[in-house]
């Protein structure tokens, strides 16, 4: 019987109290500003070299995404939530129609 009592005490200690404080209150709220991690500057605030580097990185990402689209080992079909097999091209057609 001792085991059951210890289990009950352990279980009771896990139950949260009803003394929880609300997340939003009238108390001091942090502004979110952090001197160690300043806000990222806008594109206009960047130097010419930084803008060129950012453009190059964006081009690299686009090139990588295109390479992944046309890679040799890409899946040709996919199973939908309904259990039907559809080709990737069919799924992309539906997706692009819904975006228009």
> For residue 82, what pLDDT band results from cuts at 50, 70 and 90?
confident
Q: pTM higher than 0.75, yes or no?
A: no
What pLDDT was estimated at residue 64?
94
The pair of structure tokens assigned to 99 is: 């975006």
Residue whose token pair is 């109290």: 17
Q: What is the pLDDT of residue 31?
A: 65
The pLDDT value recorded for residue 1 is 46
Contact between 3 and 10 under an 8 Å Cβ cutoff? The reply is no
Confidence tier at 24 by pLDDT (50, 70, 90): low
Token pair for 42? 């806008």
């Amino acid at each position: 019987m001792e085991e059951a009592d210890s289990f009950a005490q352990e279980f009771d200690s896990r139950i949260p109290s009803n003394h929880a404080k609300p997340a939003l209150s009238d108390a001091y709220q942090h502004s979110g500003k952090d001197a160690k991690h300043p806000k990222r500057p806008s594109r206009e605030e960047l130097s010419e070299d930084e803008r060129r580097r950012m453009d190059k990185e964006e081009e690299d990402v686009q090139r990588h995404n295109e390479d992944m689209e046309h890679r040799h080992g890409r899946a040709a079909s996919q199973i939908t939530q309904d259990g039907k097999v559809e080709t990737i091209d069919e799924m992309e057609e539906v997706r692009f129609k819904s975006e228009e």
